[in-house]
């Protein structure tokens, strides 16, 4: 125990006393995330605002006077131009070049046909040409399509009265949106945070793990440690503990970075961590601690196997991508898994538990399975690491 703590203190001091390493491993992730996410939020916000304030350029042919009157009541920012001389090729070029957002072609005598509908043999058709690859054009199309639909319903109501409708939806003066505000906020966080947390735990451990073990092999300093009279398990546990603490610090920094930048990223959506109590935070911390131990254990084994830092970093990458894929899967899941066996899968269980904690749906049995299985995995990893430290082939391979 004493030697284990000696190794732990030295490894931890190694990071804490190296300003550059401390900055890159602990501070930089949080700062970088804050800056990047804030920037992303500003860019997204800017784009949304640009679309909302953009003056839509709509060219019309045989514009319906009735529809124009209908639109007069709307607050859309539109510049109309009536043109009946444009060829299809010209329309195509203008849409592709962004000089036109929408071309609406009404059949001639459209308004009259609306009135004399009983004599009609076919329905009048409105052609709308737009460029779905351009945001302004796409947005203009959806706004006008919506207006045309509403106009069509208004005309239908005029013609047939209430018979036009079979039924209505949500027309009473009621508050139809019934939801738990806390849970809704939690759901929002649960769609994003589990993936980011797992990614940051992994990248935090990746930033220092290879140097701590593969680096010591590469530089020849591990042999100096191995000739001292301490148990290999003390070295293994001391290193894993130290790496875990630094990884947790790195993940905390990332977490703070996310929380500070989320309001900008999510464009003003209400994000308030005060909805969570001490219980949720304790659960969150214990799950993160168990997860970081598993990740560090895995990275330590890969680092011990590798001959160089570079090789270790390359070997860890597939595991990192696997973790990211598991994280992404959480973005499309509203509920947690109820099958307890699935909580035996490392990292997947973390993501499921994080969703459960953030959405206030904590399954105690799943929590226990996650914690116990994680501790078993860590024990296995430390045992393997211990054996690897004893293997001359692994420690001194060239």
Partner 1 sequence: MKVLEVRNMKKTFSLSRKQRAIEKTKETKKIAVNDLSFTAYPGEIYGLLGPNGAGKTTCLRAISTLIKPDEGDVFVDGFSVREDSYEVRKRIGFLTSELKLEDHFTPNYLFGYFARLHGLNEEETLLRRDELFGRFGIGDFQEVKVADLSTGMKQKASIAISLVHDPEFIIFDEPTNGLDILTAKSVTDYLVELKNAGKTVIVSTHILSVVEKICDRVGIIINGKMKWTDTMDHLHQSSETLEELFFRLFEESEGTL
Residues that bind partner 1 (CB under 8 A): 2-3, 6-7, 10, 13-14, 17-18, 216, 219-221, 223-231, 392-393, 395-396, 398
CA angle 143, 147, 149 (to 5 degrees): 120
Of 55, 60, 67, which Cα lies nearest the Cα of 98?
55
Place of tokens 């914690």: 371
- Compare residues 138 and 386 and give the one whose CB is closer to partner 1: 386
3-state secondary structure of 113: helix
User: In the bound complex, what is the minimum distance in angstroms from residue 243's beta carbon to partner 1?
Assistant: 16
Residue 194 CA to residue 255 CA, distance in Å, equals: 11
- Compare residues 101 and 234 and give the one whose CB is closer to partner 1: 234
Q: In what order do the strands lie in the sheet with 56-61?
A: 78-82, 56-61, 102-105, 127-129
User: In the bound complex, what is the minimum distance in angstroms from residue 398's beta carbon to partner 1?
Assistant: 8
User: In the bound complex, what is the minimum distance in angstroms from residue 397's beta carbon to partner 1?
Assistant: 8
Is the CB of residue 136 less than 8 Å from the CB of residue 102? no
Of 194, 191, 192, which Cα lies nearest the Cα of 347?
194
3-state secondary structure of 387: helix
Residue 157 CA to residue 114 CA, distance in Å, equals: 13
Distance from CA of residue 180 to its chain's centroid? 22
Is the CB of residue 31 less than 8 Å from the CB of residue 257? yes
- Compare residues 19 and 175 and give the one whose CB is closer to partner 1: 19
User: In the bound complex, what is the minimum distance in angstroms from residue 224's beta carbon to partner 1?
Assistant: 4
Beta 102-105 vs 78-82: how paired, if at all? unpaired
User: In the bound complex, what is the minimum distance in angstroms from residue 17's beta carbon to partner 1?
Assistant: 7
User: In the bound complex, what is the minimum distance in angstroms from residue 13's beta carbon to partner 1?
Assistant: 8
Residue 110 CA to residue 67 CA, distance in Å, equals: 10
- Compare residues 133 and 398 and give the one whose CB is closer to partner 1: 398
User: In the bound complex, what is the minimum distance in angstroms from residue 6's beta carbon to partner 1?
Assistant: 5
Cα dist from 203 to 248, 371, 375, whole Å: 11, 22, 21
- Compare residues 101 and 218 and give the one whose CB is closer to partner 1: 218
User: In the bound complex, what is the minimum distance in angstroms from residue 300's beta carbon to partner 1?
Assistant: 18
Rg over alpha carbons for the chain, rounded to the nearest Å, is 31
- Compare residues 73 and 229 and give the one whose CB is closer to partner 1: 229
User: In the bound complex, what is the minimum distance in angstroms from residue 245's beta carbon to partner 1?
Assistant: 18
* Phi, psi dihedral angles at 340 (to 5 degrees): -65, -25
- Compare residues 2 and 119 and give the one whose CB is closer to partner 1: 2
Structure tokens at 360: 């206030």
Output DSSP code: residue 166.
S
Q: Does an H or E element contain 67, and which?
A: helix 65-72
Residue 314 CA to residue 35 CA, distance in Å, equals: 27
CA atoms within 13 A on the CB side of 267: 9
- Compare residues 35 and 223 and give the one whose CB is closer to partner 1: 223
User: In the bound complex, what is the minimum distance in angstroms from residue 20's beta carbon to partner 1?
Assistant: 10
- Compare residues 300 and 359 and give the one whose CB is closer to partner 1: 300
- Compare residues 217 and 323 and give the one whose CB is closer to partner 1: 217
Residue 104 CA to residue 137 CA, distance in Å, equals: 12
């Amino acid at each position: 125990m004493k030697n284990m703590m000696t190794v732990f203190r030295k490894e931890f001091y190694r990071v804490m006393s190296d300003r550059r390493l401390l900055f890159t491993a602990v501070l930089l992730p949080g700062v970088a995330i804050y800056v990047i996410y804030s920037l992303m939020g500003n860019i997204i916000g800017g784009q949304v605002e640009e679309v909302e304030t953009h003056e839509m350029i709509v060219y019309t042919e045989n514009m319906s006077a009735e529809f124009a009157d209908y639109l007069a009541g709307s607050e859309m920012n539109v510049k109309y131009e009536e043109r009946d001389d444009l060829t299809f090729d010209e329309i195509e070029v203008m849409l592709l070049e962004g000089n036109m957002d929408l071309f609406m072609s009404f059949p001639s005598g459209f308004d009259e046909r609306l009135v004399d509908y009983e004599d009609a043999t076919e329905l009048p058709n409105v052609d709308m040409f737009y460029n779905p690859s351009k945001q302004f054009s796409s947005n203009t199309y959806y706004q006008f399509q919506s207006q045309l639909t509403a106009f069509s319903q208004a005309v239908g109501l005029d013609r047939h009265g209430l018979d036009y409708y079979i039924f209505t939806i949500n027309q009473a003066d009621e508050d139809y949106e019934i939801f738990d505000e806390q849970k809704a906020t939690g759901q929002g966080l649960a769609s994003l945070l589990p993936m980011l947390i797992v990614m940051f735990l992994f990248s935090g451990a990746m930033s220092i793990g290879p140097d701590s073990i593969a680096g010591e092999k590469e530089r020849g300093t591990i042999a100096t440690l191995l000739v001292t009279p301490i148990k290999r398990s003390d070295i293994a546990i001391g290193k894993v503990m130290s790496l875990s603490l630094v990884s947790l610090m790195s993940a905390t920094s990332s977490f703070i970075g996310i929380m500070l930048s989320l309001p900008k990223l999510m464009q003003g959506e209400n994000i308030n961590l005060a909805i969570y109590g001490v219980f949720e935070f304790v659960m969150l911390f214990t799950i993160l601690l168990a997860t970081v131990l598993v990740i560090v254990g895995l990275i330590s084994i890969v680092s011990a196997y590798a001959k160089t830092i570079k090789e270790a970093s390359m070997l860890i990458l597939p595991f990192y991508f696997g973790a990211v894929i598991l994280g992404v899967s959480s973005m499309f899941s509203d509920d947690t898994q109820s099958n307890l066996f699935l909580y035996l899968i490392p990292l997947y269980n973390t993501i499921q538990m994080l969703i459960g904690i953030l959405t206030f749906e904590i399954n105690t049995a799943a929590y226990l399975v996650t914690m116990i299985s994680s501790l078993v995995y860590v024990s296995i990893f430390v045992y393997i690491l211990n054996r690897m430290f004893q293997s001359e082939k692994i420690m001194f391979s060239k």
